[in-house]
Amino acid sequence: MSRIIAGVFDTMTEAERTRDALRTAGFAENEITSFFNNAPGQHGVGTAVTAGGDEPIDPQARGMEKGTATGAAIGGAVGFAAGLTAGPAALATGAVGAYIGALAGSAQSTEDKDAHTVRRPAGVMVAVHATSADLEREAVRVLRECGADNIEQAEGLWENGDWVDFNPNAEPVLVDQPQLNAPGVART
């Protein structure tokens, strides 16, 4: 397995400038690759899931139905109790309370998701095969100076100048997250 440092750019022009900067910094042409990464959920559209995309459901939406049901039950009970004290004409308050509770519950359940889950954004990836700790640091420096987003480090298969086992759905290990860093990559 090879050590790979990569970053995301918005345009091909930025990616090409970065490739030039990496060559100037001493990386050989076969140690640099670039490719477009589709938006999360859009890898292999129409092949993996019949509805399209590579995921049957947005991972951040999982479990939202539980929060919605809980919020609806609590909001409905509060609204119904308020309606009973205000009289029969105000029983509709229970339905309004259930609706508001469902909205609040679904919003809360999405906020409870693991905040550390990172998904790669769409964009042009520039990846560098770094064969030493010094080259890892140099790749991170150049990517930062060129304005890369989500600079990550990975272990992967590098063959003939390409990151051949890149998995767009794998959670990237970002260089700027010290708790996830492996030895060798310097943070600034």
In the chain, pLDDT over 70 holds for what percent of residues?
Answer: 52
Work out the pLDDT band at 180, boundaries 50, 70, 90. very low
pTM over 0.85: no
Question: Cβ atoms within 10 A of the Cβ of 113, count?
Answer: 14
Name, of 13-22, 32-41, 117-126, the range with top average pLDDT.
Answer: 13-22
In the chain, pLDDT over 90 holds for what percent of residues?
Answer: 45
pLDDT tens figures, 46-87 = 444 444 444 445 555 555 566 666 666 666 666 666 666 666
Who contacts 157 (Cβ-Cβ below 8 Å, separation ≥6)?
Answer: 1, 2, 163, 164, 165
Q: Alpha carbon of 22 to those of 25, 27, 32, 170: distances in Å?
A: 5, 6, 8, 25
2-38+121-180: CATH number: 3.30.70.120
Work out the pLDDT band at 188, boundaries 50, 70, 90. very low
Q: What average pLDDT does this structure show over 9-36?
A: 97
The domain ranges of the chain are 2-38+121-180, 60-111
Q: Does residue 13 register a pLDDT over 80?
A: yes
Work out the pLDDT band at 146, boundaries 50, 70, 90. very high
The pLDDT value given to residue 186: 47
Please provide the average confidence, as pLDDT, over all residues in the chain.
Answer: 76
